């Protein structure tokens, strides 16, 4: 008698049912995590990456870029007044875009006390609202 090697249909179906049961338990826990990850990325950009580039710009030029010069001044030497005489950039490699595909908002001088500049993301909805991520709030 020859011994046949392989899996029976019942064994294969059992494996599929086990995988489906595991997926049913794990996937609901992962749902919503992508939005949390995007928020964390925006907070890191605002509080570390872009702010460090702005601080380096200020160190070289004695002031932050103006609202009119925008964050573009971190990638290419800005024209106009005030001149960035000691510009030593680029200070960041790519255009500062938030995880939702919108440019970060920047304002100097700031509207809020206790910070050097206003830097924020408009969040998921792309409009000024409660989901915005700001450098003047914890």
Domain boundaries, the chain: 35-134
Mean pLDDT of the chain: 89
Average pLDDT over residues 31-54: 89
pTM over 0.85: no
Residue 3 confidence (pLDDT)? 67
Structure tokens of 110? 């700031």
What are the CA-CA distances from residue 118 to residues 17, 22, 61 (Å)? 53, 46, 19
Average pLDDT over residues 110-119: 93
The CATH code for residues 35-134 is: 3.30.700.10
Count Cβ atoms within 10 A of the Cβ of residue 17 and give its class: 0-12 exposed, 13-18 middle, 19 or more buried: exposed
Task: State the Cα angle at 123 between 120 and 126, rounded to 5°.
Answer: 100
User: How does pLDDT run across 68-93, given as a tens digit for each residue?
Assistant: 999 999 999 998 888 889 999 899 99
List the 118-121 sheet strands across, edge first.
105-107, 118-121, 133-134
Count CB-CB contacts under 10 A for residue 73: 26
């Amino acid at each position: 008698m020859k011994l046949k090697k392989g899996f029976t249909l019942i064994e294969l179906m059992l494996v599929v049912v086990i995988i489906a049961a595991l997926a049913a338990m794990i996937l609901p826990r992962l749902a919503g995590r992508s939005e949390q990850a995007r928020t964390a990325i925006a907070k890191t950009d605002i509080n570390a990456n872009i702010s460090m580039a702005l601080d380096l710009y200020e160190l070289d030029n004695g002031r932050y870029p103006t609202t009119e010069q925008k964050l573009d001044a971190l990638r290419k030497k800005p024209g106009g007044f005030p001149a960035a005489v000691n510009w030593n950039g680029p200070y960041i490699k790519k255009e500062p875009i938030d995880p939702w595909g919108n440019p970060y908002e920047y304002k100097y001088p700031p509207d809020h006390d206790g910070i050097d500049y206003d830097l924020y993301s408009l969040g998921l909805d792309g409009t000024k609202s409660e989901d915005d991520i700001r450098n003047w709030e914890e």
